[in-house]
Structure 1
Amino acid sequence: MCCVDHRPQWIRFILDDPSKSTLACSLSRELHHKGYLTYILDGDNIRHGLNGDLSFNAEDRTENIRRVGEVAKLFADAGVICIASLISPYIKERDACRAIMPDSSFIEVFLNIPLEVCEARDPKGLYRLARAGKIKGFTGIDDPYEPPLNCEITIELEDGKCPTPKAMAEEVASFLDKNGFLQS
């Protein structure tokens, strides 16, 4: 039996860092081991299916985030902790998603990782392609990124290194527990 709080929850990771998907998976495992039902909406996977008809121009990015917000709300309404792991470069779109969720159940986690670290850890080679001009509208390269103004959690480098996925997941789970989002 799942012991999920009756309040819908949506945890959102932002910034184009390879850690966002790793953190989402680690957090999902951490919460699952504690008896909670979770689902991850990963930006890459959403772009292959539900949002496969969208490009990366500003208008389509806005629609991508809106659709993810609506799907996350459906999961949350069903009592599932929805973890959305995606790039959301604009404050306006993040605020619009926050407004979708009732009872302050939108938890924004900002992976505040320097661009040079993201580029060094680029497993798909996307930064290299963007720097070479082969990908246009790439967040942080030729498209702006607006840092969050009111995120609930900020994860940063520790002594110049990214925290381990387990440490990041524990930080987020601890926040959820301390703020009443998790019930035993």
Structure 2
Amino acid sequence: MERQKHIVWHHSTVTKKGRQQLNGHKSCVLWFTGLSGSGKSTLANAMDHALYSQGFQSYVLDGDNIRYGLNRDLSFGVDDRKENIRRIGEVAKLFVDSGQIVSTAFISPFQNDRELVRSMFEADEFIEVYVKCPIDICENRDPKGLYQKARKGEIAEFTGISSPYEAPSQPELIIETNKQSIEDSVGKIFHLLREKKIL
């Protein structure tokens, strides 16, 4: 692109590896994906709190929060939803480079978009966590009242109703929030992080 012709990447003096050594653990992105109401934000925040409580460097990027600021210019149309996920991938990459464990809670319904983000990271830095929950339970929870609005036609292209959700084919972890408690789910994620020698 023309506007990128005169841009040169500036390498940091402090490396990612150096930051990881200072923190005492490796860095990665926990990419929570699932339907609205599946429990992504709840689980991401519970994991963040557990990591924080044990002295690990972590942060949460939440879908709604990001749209208040960084992505406030984006709509919910197909192209803008793709751009929303791409930007989040880039931000998550910065957090990983800073040596932190970043949890992202986004529906991110399309496999291609998630694979694009995965390609931004090194091996074992991108951990896809499929927050699996039957749509009828998600709809009964409906914490934001979005399913009700979608059923009335007030929200177009709503995932699970008028727009598809492509479940991950090979996620690193599946959490079934209608069957597992928050505590058990957080424990499973911790186990995976230790198995991968991130913690």
Match of 2:3 in 1: none
Match of 1:56 in 2: 76
The letter of the residue matching 1:11 is L
1:4 paired residue among 9, 25, 33: 25
Aligned residues of 2:124 and 2:196 also touching (Cα < 8 A): no
**Aligned positions of 1:131-150 closer than 5 A:** 131-150=151-170
Please state whether the residue corresponding to 1:100 is helix, strand or coil: coil
Match of 1:176 in 2: 193
TM-score, with length taken from structure 1: 0.92
Find the aligned partners of 1:173 and 1:119 in 2 and give their Cα distance.
29
Find the aligned partners of 2:51 and 2:194 in 1 and give their Cα distance.
10
| Residue correspondences, number | 177
The letter of the residue matching 2:143 is P
Per the TM alignment, residue 43 of structure 1 is displaced from its structure 2 partner at its CA by: 0.4
Per the TM alignment, residue 163 of structure 1 is displaced from its structure 2 partner at its CA by: 1.9
Aligned residues of 2:157 and 2:163 also touching (Cα < 8 A): yes
Aligned residues of 1:109 and 1:152 also touching (Cα < 8 A): yes
Displacement over 6 Å in runs of 4+? none
Aligned residues of 1:112 and 1:156 also touching (Cα < 8 A): yes
Find the aligned partners of 2:179 and 2:137 in 1 and give their Cα distance.
9
Write out per-residue CA displacement over residues 42-74 of structure 1, whole angstroms, 9 at most, x where no aligned residue: 001001110011111110010000000000000
**Unaligned runs of at least 5 residues, structure 1:** none
Aligned residues of 1:11 and 1:109 also touching (Cα < 8 A): yes
Match of 1:120 in 2: 140
Please state whether the residue corresponding to 1:110 is helix, strand or coil: strand
Aligned residues of 1:17 and 1:111 also touching (Cα < 8 A): no
Please state whether the residue corresponding to 2:142 is helix, strand or coil: coil
Find the aligned partners of 1:35 and 1:175 in 2 and give their Cα distance.
18
Please state whether the residue corresponding to 2:122 is helix, strand or coil: coil
The letter of the residue matching 2:34 is L
2:184 paired with 1:167 = yes
Per the TM alignment, residue 4 of structure 1 is displaced from its structure 2 partner at its CA by: 2.3
Per the TM alignment, residue 17 of structure 1 is displaced from its structure 2 partner at its CA by: 3.7
2:63 paired with 1:43 = yes
Please state whether the residue corresponding to 1:25 is helix, strand or coil: helix
Aligned residues of 1:30 and 1:170 also touching (Cα < 8 A): no
**Unaligned runs of at least 5 residues, structure 2:** 1-21
**Aligned positions of 1:6-155 closer than 5 A:** 8-18=27-37, 19-155=39-175
Write out per-residue CA displacement over residues 101-133 of structure 1, whole angstroms, 9 at most, x where no aligned residue: 112310000011010010001111000000110
The letter of the residue matching 1:14 is T
- Structure with higher Rg: it is 2
